[in-house]
Structure 1
């Protein structure tokens, strides 16, 4: 997904006087308990996997001591695979001033809904038990650092939360920046277009890359994602779903809902709908559904188990 402008617009709620007072008390208690417990956590504990069962203890409670950044991701999401390593590296470099909680949306749909996640990767923060959106989509490391700086400043100024003490230089050294690999100028232009929400420009840039390198995986995934985003842009989700429910044989209506499902991370729903559409349609309508399904396979990747299963279902529907 393309990144939205990073902002701290949600911090207005964090300025409540009562919440600030409570958060400062919790932070002091947490620091006291940490000192009694024998010191700072290991660098590896700055990045944790969280699920619905551990969310309260690992995120809500820890947010009284340190800002907790949440990375909503999925195994099939290629932009997630680009963003997550950067978030992990930057988190370690901040040496305890932030923590990173990674949440697999496929396994934790309730948390995804509670945060109002519309697409992934999506990044939120929790400070003193209060959530705020940070950004959506893959983003450059420099931009991520800027957002982390603002988050740390808000946590300290509003709540007196200064992070985990004593994690120190070891974590920062462990996560030293890797040597930068020169960017492909065409792919860089495509990413820049996505950053500025210029979807037609991104689509053209990816097509240009594929015209020179038809097998370039990054360009294939990027093109499929950009085209998906362009199709769902401006859709009235409620009306689109109503139209599809009212006219189950309307292939165009079913394609729109499948796109919405995919953009929202509901991969199996999107695949299942398109396979069913292939089964009950014929001629040009059937071909349109088949091609759309193949396009969505590109977004996920050929090796994903859901793609493998859907390919089998498609073959059975066709033959």
Structure 2
């Protein structure tokens, strides 16, 4: 859709090269008003993508989002211009853009609105959103979420927990950060604190897929046999022993082995525990998430077995 010039009310026409060169020399972070909107946002986007951040001084989410956008603008080092529009001070521009709530972030390229999002997104999601249109610098640092995930992958749950604690405190409205914190606490060996975080989520978010996944991992840890109980199963070949071994594998994060064992138990003794193997498979899928490769693979195998 075309971008409208707030001064004339008409669609932008292509600028000449001297005007776009002037826009290209602008700083990577620019405050927008009536005097520079056309040059920076409209004409400037013909050469360099412009990320227009519409905000207001009274908007707390805006205050959380703006530092993230500024950080990314500096990191991208001119690959896009961050244009900041205070809608209270420049209501005419906001009206022309159709701004109804803030924060409202619009990506403008070649004088056109390419994409937009409203509200506050985690830094990782903003990076992923930007990456669809603008190439990130090769030496771009990891986002806090990526740092936390790398720490978890390396077995350093304490570092991950610290990062998610900071993110949760800085962005209290981001429920995902609190769910990630619960997951890190669980990985760190603090199931009681993890449960307290999950129980403290808003009621409408407690049953979200991501929260269900962490709660499922928490429950698997409680249900799985201890090392001593597992040793006592040595030599047993009955369905209960196979089930408990599979449960321990899942609780330990050895998901593939646990899923495989549950699927084999289902083939061997579908009636065990009132179809307990299949029900537990579904719980593991919940814990992993619908898009996890193991969920996709074993859901397909489960379907093939049943039908």
Q: Give the TM-score normalised by structure 2.
A: 0.42
Larger radius of gyration: 2
Flag the structure with more relative contact order, 1 or 2, with Cα contacts below 8 A and sequence separation at least 6: 1
